[in-house]
Amino acid sequence: MSPSAVRAYEHSAIHDENGQVIEVEQVLPRALAPEEMPGVIEEFRHAAALAKQAGFDGVELHAANGYLPDQFLQDGSNHRTDAYGGSLENRARFLFEVLDAIGSVWDAGQIGVRLSPGSSYGTVSDSDPHATFGYVARRLDGYGLAYLHMVEPRVRGNDDVDAAVSAVSAKDLRRVFKGTLIAAGGFTADSAHRMIEAGDADLVAFGRLFISNPDLPERLRVGAPLNRYDRSTFYGGDARGYTDYSFHSEAPVI
């Protein structure tokens, strides 16, 4: 299901039962009917309730990287003409209704939201990302969230690209979002320090380097060399590439 019947990619890479990467054709999603929206939003609320029951400290609404809230938000994937499409306010409606549902379970200070204005993953795109994500960040600022998690334009989809490909960055959202802002996306220790020192973000998140360096904070603290990550092991397979990377005190595996 999706806001509109728009195919994401012609093929998608997945791991089969033997751990081998194969390509499969993506199905054409069906557009959600208006009467289905409450049920889908309830699924998000229920998931948030289960996370609380399981003892988590909080939850993050993944409204980035082509996930359903992101599909609704961006006009390249949302072609609707009803209350959930067209205007900026309508396209953002699904995201904020989901956020309000989660807020019925968790305090706002225990909820984070993730956005990715520069990502094309899932073939999402927007004709005016500055207006779209500026509007969303401005509204999110009134919620008193734990944080806003912003993927920098240095990463598009899952590939490294030049920062200039997108006009929207954490620095832009910082102007309208005054709460805790986390930036993510291809950072090094130096670029993370520069981001924080400039006041463009409060925190910097690492993904791929944290996979390949289980002691990443300590390595960054002492300036130790980093293990290289193996992208071929991402998103499936077995323990290889997840639990076999060495600590700084050990000989590197990769």
- What are the residue ranges spanned by the domains of the chain? 33-205
| Other beta carbons within 10 Å of 166 | 22
In this structure, what are the phi and psi dihedrals at residue 88, rounded to the nearest 5 degrees? Answer: -60, -45
CATH number of 33-205: 3.20.20.70
Question: Is residue 159 over pLDDT 70?
Answer: no
- Alpha helices, DSSP H, located in the chain: 37-53, 68-73, 88-103, 129-140, 170-174, 189-197, 208-212, 216-222
Question: Is residue 156 over pLDDT 50?
Answer: no
pTM for this prediction: 0.87
As annotated, the active-site residues are: 67
CA distance 137 to 178: 9
Best-predicted range by mean pLDDT (3-7, 129-133, 160-164): 129-133
Q: What's the pLDDT tens digit per position in 199-210?
A: 999 999 999 999
Mean pLDDT, residues 10-27: 75
| Other beta carbons within 10 Å of 246 | 15
Question: Is residue 165 over pLDDT 50?
Answer: no
Q: Which two tokens stand for residue 251?
A: 């000989």
Mean pLDDT, residues 216-223: 93
Closest alpha carbon to 208 in 240, 239, 231: 231
Structure confidence at residue 10 as a pLDDT band (50, 70, 90): low
Mean pLDDT, residues 8-14: 69
Structure confidence at residue 233 as a pLDDT band (50, 70, 90): confident
Q: How much is the pLDDT for 120?
A: 76
Question: Is residue 158 over pLDDT 80?
Answer: no
* Range 40-54 burial, b when 16+ CB lie within 10 A, else e: ebeebbeebbebeee
Q: How much is the pLDDT for 162?
A: 44
